[in-house]
Chains A and B, each alone.
Chain A
Amino acid sequence: MSSQAETTRHALYQRGRTLQRLSIILTYIILVVVAFCILLPFIWLLSASLKNQTQYYAVPIQWIPQPFVWSNYVEAFTRYNFGRYVLNSVLLAIYAMVVNTLSSSLVAFGFARFRFPGRTLWFILMLSTLMLPSQVLTIPLYVIFRNLKWIDTFWPIIVPQLFGSAFNIFLFRQFFMELPKELDEAARIDGCSNLRIWWNIILPQSKPVIIVVAIFSFLASWRDAWNPLIYLSSQNNRTIPLGLLYFTDGYTSVYPQMMAATVIALAVPVLLYAIGQRYIDSGVAIAEIK
């Protein structure tokens, strides 16, 4: 009797194990197929950026260019002015990264560490601004900036960063709330000013969230097409997205060069992800749900 039960249990166990192994194999197969499909256009892009015109239009697709036309990258930078666009984009993105991270953390510090009347109200108001597309508010801003003679300068893009952005403030605030209060209270008793508490005590403990916000601010600026498209007009002020939108050379096709420029634009997020991967993986997802 008992041996029979044992046999059944053993059979069940065996079956469970086979099923589990099967499901793992199935998982691998699905993931490999999905990952391959996701990667394919990027592989194509990389190869296309190194082709000449004939190779570009070859049927079937010539996956490994012969020869490698590295000059596409050189041409993108020189002839199509991408050197200038990259410079503009990098400067704007670094500025956004530094300034937005600082201003957002400052505001978040206010929300997380002080009690004042109206705090919840302001916070909810801030969160609700996240829910609505900010682009619909552009017309009045354009008129203001035009009256200030700021059109075709970087000011309309630079200035708003000074005031923090709702999502970053939210991320910082959630993180600050988790930090123990003992340290800043001790510091306050020792006569530390609030600004110094923020700078010397809160920020040094907040490396993960700082990295996540910094990377996201950089990327938001890097890929922003709306603001540059509306506020910038002269060629030397273009950023990379604008450069790609206006990428043309009269009537001849310059797609390989354009693909080279696209690779440059896409390489930066990959690079940043490689740097901040650990923090993005854990930080973003957790913070977003809270």
Chain B
Amino acid sequence: MAITEHARDAVALKAKRSKQTRKRFFGREAVAGYLFISPWIIGFLLFYLYPLLNTIYNSFTRYKLFGKPQWIGFQNYEQLLFHDPVFAATCWHMLLYVTASTVIYIVGGLALALLLSRAFPGNHFFRTVLYLPSLMVGVAIGSMFVQVFNAGEYGLFNTILGLFGIAPVNWLNNYNNPEIGLVALIFVNFWFVGGTMLIFIAGLKGISQTYYEAARIDGAGAWHRFRYITLPLLTPVILFNTIMTLIGHIQVFDTALIFAGGGSGSVGVSGLGSVLGYHNSLSTFLTYLYQQAFVSRNYGYGSALAVVIFLITLVLTIVVLLIFRRSGNTDRW
């Protein structure tokens, strides 16, 4: 008894003391807090806010490698949005690429997560195999897939098509149908569904088993359990994955760049043509930005392009948020 009382006193004393300390240090606490987050604030101002404002300003100017920016009003935007066939093609590529990739990521990731959310021997092995490639995204995996999609009969992908009696396809240097490179670029996404899968598995674990038991007692079949329990309760995770996938794919760069070069190692050598692929068939937002700003050194025009990409991303994110909000269940957000 006495011990408990003593302990209680001690706790009370401690609480009181800590409250006093907190009050006494409130001013100091604020200063200390700001000191600790100051690295990020400085980074934000230097590497985010200033470049953002500067990019917006530059987008209204003519600004080349040498010389100062000259104000030209909306000319860059007018050129970009209404008279630039490369940009129009890029938008079309991105629409296809981002939509297809998002579907692959979400449907593929969710399907695999459903398979792997149960416990069975070997589960961990499969999870590892499926997840590992998503850590490898980048030029290296692109350099592998350029060879996998090689035009000749010796290319791995064509060999597999050959098993089904399909003639070899020239994937990355097809001058008759340059768009086919985009199909290859989309296809690569199947290798990266492991990342979304892992997040879906964690989300599925968060759903209480009691719902499923109750549904089973009520005689609900597997589809109904998925449709009326899993899907609604997983909405926040699906939302998270969708937004992350969208943003990630709008930023596609390295794979597109190395695919555009066709593995010739000529990215820096011949400039424009190989950065965007034959007839610009593999242009993405970022490869086009790279080409305009850092190959052709059109800083003003590149800035307008940057602002447009920025706005598109922003609008897309908001639209996805709104769609999910309308379909309900975003409490956890």
Chain B: number of interface residues, binned into ranges? 35 or more
A24 to B307 alpha-carbon distance, docked (Å): 50
Report whether B310 and A136 are in contact in the complex, using a CB–CB cutoff of 8 Å: yes
State which of A106, A277, A285 has its C-beta within 8 Å of the C-beta of B202: A285
Interface size on A, residues (CB 8 A): 95
**Residues 105-132 of A at the B interface (beta carbon under 8 Å):** 106-107, 109-111, 113-117, 119, 122, 125-126, 129, 131-132
Nearest residue, chain A, Cβ from B246: A131
Q: If the complex has contacts A38-B191, A107-B40, are A266 and B136 also in contact, measured as CB distance less than 8 A?
A: yes
A122-B41 contact, Cβ under 8 Å, with A114-B32, A246-B268, A262-B143: yes
Q: Which of A1-9, A65-73, A160-168 contacts B (4 or more CB under 8 A)?
A: A160-168
User: Do A38 and B202 touch (CB < 8 A)?
Assistant: no
Instruction: Find B36's partner among A106, A273, A281 (CB 8 Å cutoff).
Output: A106
Task: Give min CB distance, B187 to chain A, whole Å.
Answer: 11
Q: Check A164 against B43 for contact (C-beta < 8 Å).
A: yes
**B110-142: which have CB < 8 Å to A?**
112, 115-116, 118, 120, 122, 126-133, 135-141
Q: Is the CB of A110 within 8 A of B139?
A: no
A27 touching B156 by the CB < 8 A rule?
Answer: no
**Interface residue stretch chosen among A53-61, A90-98, A203-211:** A53-61
Give B contacts to A, CB under 8 Å: 17-18, 21, 26, 29-37, 39-44, 46-48, 50-52, 54-55, 58, 112, 115-116, 118, 120, 122, 126-133, 135-141, 143-145, 147-148, 152-154, 156, 159, 190-191, 198-199, 201-203, 206, 236-237, 240, 243, 247, 250-251, 253-254, 257-258, 261, 263-269, 285-286, 289-290, 293-294, 299, 302-303, 306-307, 309-310, 313-314, 317
The B interface, classified by DSSP as helix, strand, loop or mixed, is helix
User: Which of A134, A160, A230, A273 interacts with B135 by CB under 8 Å?
Assistant: A273
> In the complex, which residue of chain A has the Cβ closest to the Cβ of B200?
A285
A141 on the B face (CB < 8 A): yes
Partner of B138, one of A119, A198, A225: A225
12 new A-B pairs (CB below 8 Å) besides A38-B133, A59-B159, A226-B254?
Answer: A27-B120, A38-B130, A113-B33, A122-B41, A136-B307, A137-B52, A198-B36, A223-B138, A225-B253, A230-B290, A248-B264, A273-B135
Are B47 and A240 within 8 A (Cβ)?
no
A178 within 8 Å of B (CB atoms): no
Q: Would you call B21 and A188 a contact (CB within 8 A)? A: yes
Q: How far is the CA of A246 from the CA of B32 in the complex (A)?
A: 48
Most buried by B among A37, A60, A265: A265
Smallest CB separation, B57 vs chain A (Å): 9
Partner of B55 from A39, A42, A58, A136 at Cβ < 8 Å: A136
